[in-house]
Chains A and B, each alone.
Chain A
Amino acid sequence: MKYVYLYFPDSAKFTKRQVQVGDFASICCTDKKLKEKIAKIPVYSFPERLTPRQKETGVRTILTALKVMDVILAAFPELQITPLGSTDIILEFDTHKTSQVLTALKAGILCVITFFGAMFTIMAFNNDVQVHEVFQQLFALFAGTSGDGFSLLELSYSAGLGIGILVFYNHFGKKEFSRDPTPLEIEMRLYENDVNTALIDGIKRKNQHIDVD
């Protein structure tokens, strides 16, 4: 009896049609030759003919860990397999190459949207809660005279706002204030996890996933 430990990731991307166990799973086994043999076992191949839409967006399918184990056991019935990690693996087939220029362009457009969006939100917020009137009252309280509407108070408010955002997002450009990932990066990971879960549930509900019979 030989023991094999397999680790399955949540998702894997492929540019070739044939998928072998070693392409996505990490294998842990004392027998190096056996490990190589297991890694070479084919488990799935993406359809040869793709519709133009599939060529554009790529193909997604879900492979259950059980199916992978089933295929391995068919080749090596004596093995004792311990699966770790994800029980459903999202396989993505995408030969479509994304051009650097297009990505940069998209990022640029998104930057402009974000910039103006952030600008709009703070202005709308200031207007909504009438910040200028509060500041005029505050200025009168401190200085005794009514200010002209654009004093140190407003300037330092703007600066404080910037510092607040920097502290919240935890970095400025490439300079980080601490080693933690930024809140948006955390949100991004959470969002990706949600997308993966939704994808798996959706495909499983349509019964299009690849499972043991």
Chain B
Amino acid sequence: MKYFFIILTGAASGFAASAGLYALITALSLLPRMADKTRTASCMRLYEDCVFFGGVTGCICYFLGKHEFSLSLPPVCFACLDAISGFCMGIFVGTLAISLAESLDVTAVFARRTRLHQAMAWIILSFAIGKIIGSFLFFYQRFYPFR
């Protein structure tokens, strides 16, 4: 009976959380944008599967991490995994951030207000560089409670 409640609550909360979070990712049309740029719109279903696997893996990793569980990979392996996963997460979050801003038509409104259509490319570039420096500083200066 106890386990029944535990499983029911767990599954229901997972269901609700995924509905909110991944609906947001879909609504920002982030994947369609990437698929359009790479001209791989036909692989859309593959990407959806990847979201599924990523979501579940991430969730399990999260709780394992909280549980102080470690794979204890050899240094070369975890360096590679760190580099690849970090890079990919960076790309994804970068796209997510700009999509979120873009869903409110920030650049369009900004360009119209300032009448700087020509300089828009440079403004966006500076935006990206600012994000890079900001992110670097955040981690380099430990702007967060570091254990």
Chain B's closest residue to A148 (CB) is B67
Contact partner, A150, options B34, B49, B67, Cβ 8 Å: B67
CA distance in complex: A191, B44 (Å): 13
A151 to B3, CA, bound (A): 10
Choose among A110, A118, A143, A191 the residue that contacts B55 (Cβ–Cβ < 8 A): A118
Interface 9-mer from B17-25, B72-80, B118-126, B127-135: B17-25
Asked whether, in the complex, the Cβ of A143 is within 8 Å of the Cβ of B2, the reply is yes
The reply to whether B61 and A123 form a contact with Cβ atoms under 8 Å apart is yes
Number of contact residues on B: which range applies? 35 or more
Q: Is B16 touching A164 in the complex (CB atoms < 8 A)?
A: yes
* Residues of B with C-beta under 8 A to A165: 18, 22, 51-52, 55-56
Main secondary structure of the interface of B (DSSP, over half): helix
Residue in B closest to A127 when the chains form the complex, CB atoms: B62
Q: Indicate whether A115 sits within 8 Å of B54 (C-beta atoms), given known contacts A110-B35, A123-B61, A160-B12.
A: yes
What are the interface flags for B27-60 relative to A under an 8 Å C-beta threshold, 1 for contact and 0 otherwise?
Answer: 1010111111011110111111111111111111
Minimum CB–CB distance from A184 to chain B (whole Å) comes to 5
For residue B88, CB closer than 8 A to chain A, the reply is yes
A34 to chain B, nearest CB (A): 38
Q: Are B6 and A161 in contact (CB under 8 A)?
A: no
Contacts of A139 in B (CB 8 A): 6
Within A139-171, the residues touching B (CB, 8 Å) are 139, 142-143, 148-169, 171
Any B CB within 8 A of the CB of A126: yes
User: Are A185 and B88 interface neighbours, CB within 8 A?
Assistant: no
Extra 12 A-B pairs, beta carbons < 8 Å, given A154-B63, A155-B10: A113-B92, A114-B31, A119-B85, A119-B89, A122-B58, A123-B62, A131-B17, A142-B5, A165-B18, A168-B19, A187-B29, A192-B41
**What residues make up the interface of B, taking CB atoms closer than 8 Å to A?**
2-3, 5-19, 21-23, 25-27, 29, 31-36, 38-41, 43-67, 69, 84-85, 88-89, 91-93, 96
